[in-house]
Structure 1
Amino acid sequence: MIAIGGVIGAGLFVGSSSGIAAAGPGILVSYALVGVMVVLVMRMLGEMAAAHPTSGSFSAYADRALGRWAGFSIGWLYWFFWVVVMAVEATAGAVILEGWVPAVPRWGWALIVMVVLTATNLVSVGSYGEFEFWFAGIKVVAIAAFIVLGGLAVLGLLPGSHQKPVGLANLTAHGGFLPHGPGAILTGVLLVVFSFMGSEIVTLAAGESKHPQRAVTKATNSVIWRIAVFYLGSIFIVVTMLPWNDKAILERGSYVATLDVIGILHAGQIMNVIVLTAVLSCLNSGLYTASRMAFSLGRRGDAPKSFAHTSTHGVPRAAILSSVAFGFLAVFFNYKWPDTVFAFLLNASGAVALFVWLVISFTQLRMRRIILRENPDKLVVRMWLFPYLTWATILMIVFVLAYMLTDPSGREQLTFSGLVAALVVAVALVRDRLGSGRSDTAGRP
């Protein structure tokens, strides 16, 4: 369920509206392109994770294949990304909860949400898994119901409805399938690419499962249908049911507007419950992911040694508390300086997803040779058409990064993210040069 729910983030429910407005029905192509890229990256990651399951995942593999500087850099960047996401999700959840219970101020709800999920993660990894199981279950049921209801409405088969079949007219009737031209597909890619971040969490969680190799293999093999059904399926329903330029899509959100057209009562409140679930799921996973990455960095000597200590239940409490402390600080920045300090944090973490996918791709090129040399029997998941699809993925990611320079908001994200990444890499190289920290083989997968 972590694998299934991992691809359904709050960004799908909230962020799809701007993508549809920018690219029209052609947003389906944007989602498909990013989906293909994510499938390829997950296949590469699955190959490495099945051979060497570890809570450090790609950071530990980069350490082994590319050098200590690479594992240090991508590990801390990924940690930084999820700490900022925790603040974003806590604030988003607080906005919804304040609307239901205005007696509690927004900052109070953010605090409550953070404290509850921190306590859950501190108990045991089983508690995290249990919460994420139910969060993911609600998201999956909601998306599946949305697709079924929307499909019936498109065909005019919705029980109790006298609405004529919508058909596929909205895909081409309002300026064509690409009303803003083919270039809008790439603009759509920039808007939707970050809603896919989180797919790789399953490879971190697998390291703490009973049968990690089997869990990773199953999860990575199913990523294709997960993306096809949940992303492409639900977005197809939206752009089929509504004209892409319908103002309701931006005003009320793409999913709420679609539910209204279908005739679902209280669609706004229903979607608020689902979005809140997605937000809590993302926050829960963000805390888990940040803490496990900090734990792995601690084991490898790239973070304080206390991060690598675990409780009797196997929980890295110091790593969790340190991660959530920075999460609380980021929430404070969001309330105190939303347009300056927090805006910088958002931009500085904006392109980290693409950096992570790029490092995974380069790592897999080297790890394949290492696995074949040391224990070829562990290569139970193989990247398709290696190394050609790996290099194709690298070129796709580099192209998206280059295209970000042509978009004002994308350029700002890439600039700030690049500066932070350069700073972290510089620190890593200096540490390597000084020879501080652990030995070369400590904590490696």
Structure 2
Amino acid sequence: MSVLGTRRPVGRLARGGIAGLAAAAGGAASQFLIVLLVTRSLDPDAAGAFFTATALCLMLAGILRLDAGNGLIYALARRRGELTDHSVVWAALAPVVACSALAAVAVAVFDTELGALTGVPDGVWPALAAALPAVVLADVLVAATRGLGSMRPTLLLDGLGRPMGQLLLVAAAVLTGASLPMVTAAWALPAIPATVLAALWLRRHLPGPVPLPLACDRETMASFWRYTGPRSAASAIQAVFQRLDIVIVAVLAGPAPAAVYTAATRFKVVGQLANQGLTQAVQPHLVRAIADGDLVRARRLYQATTMWLVVLTWPIWLGYAALAPWLLPLFGPSYADGVTIALVLSGTMVVATACGMVDVVLIASGHTAASLANTACAVAVTIVADVLLVPSHGALGAALGWSAGVLAKNALPLVQISRRLGLLPFGRHSVNALRRGVA
């Protein structure tokens, strides 16, 4: 018998990876089409306001979800089938709901101040404030379904339902000449049914009766947030600094280089979402293997998914590098200068992908504080490099700074899991992964 027992778990993992990739592809395609639709339908000021508002909404949602989704994946995968699962879900949701509600009220109250600060017209912020809790909860609840070993809600809700709903509603809004607040509301609205459907799925599949929200005991709450707390800080840092590089370019080099940098980095979301899709499929399996002390199975999963990650994403990054001279002019002739940036980004992600899901493995082994420290270090490297390089090299300097941060973010956990767990991204399971996946 193999380490996994039979080939069937490998098949389930492959199918889960394909489902995750399909969900990622749906989200990426929808994002790109919305960008094209808005830029071609609205005047530059309105399009800029839309992108500013939605980017800040996603940044705020990334902070407010407190990484509770990943915490639930870890907790539910470890306790799968236990009657305490409901208590874990309530322990995760209580702080998230409270923080989201307070943030929504604050955004609505300070609508005028936010408008003056960002240049976004009146009415946009109240529309986003009304949907903000749903945007946050949709991410958390859909992630929780993966903790129960199912990729179907992720595929149907994150891959098809929500992105297609956003695209169709935004298209209807701009084609009917709706106001900017209505266009923004159309973008946010699909998060509400996604939240409701994910909650209903969890209620149906969690074992035992559904307790009252206040039935969550302090021990469960403390245990959950002891693990998730450090990741909450890391998730908040990532949510903020994912979009900070564009701001740094604008401040240090001017708006024109910032526009080139934005266009050149627009296509990287495709490769990143492919990575995310495969990560969503394998994360619960890694958690269970490491929780059971089965490092042999963990090594097999890590090396197999690294090989599949290389096979599935390297063509994306290499294709992006090769096609950048034709892709970037879609935004306008002046954006052809971003080809060098595209080459830097592609080369960086080829190297980072070869490290595998190092941070996922580190988190699955319970070392969330180390993951937080790694993220903070990567952010510091990025900021320092940007400050040093952007004034003299503009957008290319920002790309080099981002590259340095990404490499640091992958190299640090790679060293840590190698020393602590003896895990390496490639080994005797790498080639077997391809052979079994085809079989």
How does the TM-score come out when normalised to structure 2? 0.33
Structure with the bigger RCO (C-alpha within 8 Å, sep 6+) is 1
